[in-house]
Amino acid sequence: MSKHTPLHAAHERAGASFTDFAGYDMPVRYESDLVEHHAVRESAGMFDLSHMAEISITGAGAPDFLDYALSNRLSVLEDHQAKYSLLLNAEGGVIDDLIVYRLSPERYLIVANAANRDSAVTALVQRTAGFDVVVSDESDEWALIAVQGPHSRTIISEAGIDLPEDFDELRYYRMTTGTFNAEQVLIARTGYTGEDGYEVYVSNAQAQALWDELEASGANHGMRLCGLACRDTLRLEAGMPLYGHELSLDWTPRQAGLGRAVVAKESFVGMPALEPDPTDARVLVGLVGEGKRAPRAGYSVRSIAGDTIGEVTSGALSPTLGYPIAMAYVDPQHADVDTELVVDVRGSDVGVRVQPLPFYQRKKAAL
């Protein structure tokens, strides 16, 4: 029996198609994944991400604990600042990728992938020995609503949330608090679409009311309700890794192009990730093709000479760009930009070329 988010009834009323994702019955699309994708790029889209895991870290030892338990230096975060980080195992493999927010000097919020909730909580709890810290899985207490796209700030501003005066100046990877129906909500300028946008953490009790307000506000600005199908094509265009595809215990952060998320510290779990990979270790690259046939996860990548040199991790016909895009792990001698390669698309050869990530980059606004 799949779990439901507090917004499930709203999705049913809106005519969503559902898919099982990490044990949750989640909207895969409402009407058209292409329309939803384009809405995020051109105006705005709203996603229910309440399946994601929220883990609180509290106590005087929290900054030191996070530096030990995670891959980069979290003790330098200021209040209301966020950082992308990795949860590594002792060998340097990736247990999960997550975002850490500092709410106050002794309280942090970690947002982890729904599918990795249990393994992330378990690993974090195991690492608490010797630290004055409490790890608490608050996933079932929070709903999460993302509003993404160029009109997202206006939509949030007009949704009946009592916002701080300087909300318009909230920077990327920062968060603030607002009040909605007399309850505090956390609003972060983060996302997983390659577009400007916000993620709003709200109690389960107020989730439905906030969703309705945001939907009404968004209706004036071309916003669409968006499912997980377009979330995947949006993040792929933005070159963002998806755990289970580009990230796993089997790839090191450097192989995944995330070496910057691992910082040399006195001691932390996953220190081997600081070591250089073997020179023959495969690396993650972007691939672009011609025509309409997309490489997909699991398809083999070959050199022009015909040797199997890699495997696709994600791929789709890019809705924004109109040509096939994919990410793949390939042998390092075939990873240079503009290298011509071949993907076996269900028995027929499709030519591709290595291209730097991301495939799509939004025009940066002033803020």
Could you say which of 319, 334, 335, 342 contacts another protein (CB under 8 A)? Answer: 319
Binding residues for another protein, total number by CB under 8 A? 20
- Taking the least distance from each CB to another protein, the nearer of 95 and 316 is 316
Could you say which of 22, 34, 271, 281 contacts another protein (CB under 8 A)? Answer: 34
Query: Is the distance from CB of 63 to CB of 72 less than 8 angstroms?
Result: no
Shortest Å distance, C-beta 8 to another protein: 19
Q: Which residues have C-beta within 8 Å of that of residue 68, sequence separation ≥ 6?
A: 127, 131, 265, 267, 268, 269
Stretch that binds another protein, among 6-14, 130-138, 179-187, 287-295 (CB under 8 A): 287-295
Q: Residue 322 — left, alpha, or beta (φ > 0 → left; ψ -120 to 50 → alpha)?
A: left
Shortest Å distance, C-beta 230 to another protein: 8
Stretch that binds another protein, among 2-10, 26-34, 241-249, 251-259 (CB under 8 A): 26-34
Q: Which residues have C-beta within 8 Å of that of residue 7, sequence separation ≥ 6?
A: 48, 50, 143, 145, 207, 208, 211
Task: Provide DSSP, 129-172.
Answer: TTSS-EEEE-GGGEEEEEEESTTHHHHHHTSS-B--TTGGGPPT
Structure-block tokens of residue 254? 């450097």
- Taking the least distance from each CB to another protein, the nearer of 26 and 316 is 316
Q: Residues 241, 246, 249, CA angle at the centre, nearest 5°?
A: 120
- Taking the least distance from each CB to another protein, the nearer of 26 and 155 is 26
Shortest Å distance, C-beta 116 to another protein: 22
Shortest Å distance, C-beta 363 to another protein: 24
| Residues 211-250 within binding reach of another protein (CB under 8 A) | 229-230, 232-233
- Tell me the β-bridge partners of 301: 310, 343
Task: Provide DSSP, 49-98.
Answer: -TTSEEEEEESTTHHHHHHHHSSS--TTPPTTBEEEEEEE-TTS-EEEEE
Q: Which residues have C-beta within 8 Å of that of residue 218, sequence separation ≥ 6?
A: 44, 46, 147, 151, 155, 224
Stretch that binds another protein, among 91-99, 104-112, 273-281, 291-299 (CB under 8 A): 291-299
How far is the C-alpha of 151 from the C-alpha of 169, rounded, in Å? Answer: 15
Q: Does residue 309 bind another protein (CB under 8 A)?
A: no
β-pairing verdict for 197-203 and 142-148 = antiparallel
Is the omega angle on the peptide bond into residue 358 within 30 degrees of 0, that is, cis?
A: yes
Could you say which of 28, 111, 115, 226 contacts another protein (CB under 8 A)? Answer: 28
Q: Does residue 33 bind another protein (CB under 8 A)?
A: yes
- Taking the least distance from each CB to another protein, the nearer of 11 and 127 is 11
Shortest Å distance, C-beta 20 to another protein: 14
- Taking the least distance from each CB to another protein, the nearer of 59 and 244 is 244
Q: Which residues of 43-65 are buried (b: 16+ CB within 10 A; e: fewer)?
A: bbbbbbbbbbbbbbbbbebbbbb
Could you say which of 8, 25, 30, 37 contacts another protein (CB under 8 A)? Answer: 37
Shortest Å distance, C-beta 293 to another protein: 6
Could you say which of 317, 331, 344, 353 contacts another protein (CB under 8 A)? Answer: 317
Q: Does residue 297 bind another protein (CB under 8 A)?
A: no
Could you say which of 87, 200, 214, 316 contacts another protein (CB under 8 A)? Answer: 316
Query: Is the distance from CB of 255 to CB of 313 less than 8 angstroms?
Result: no
Q: Can you give the binding site for another protein, defined by CB under 8 A?
A: 17, 28-29, 32-35, 37, 229-230, 232-233, 292-294, 296, 316-317, 319, 346
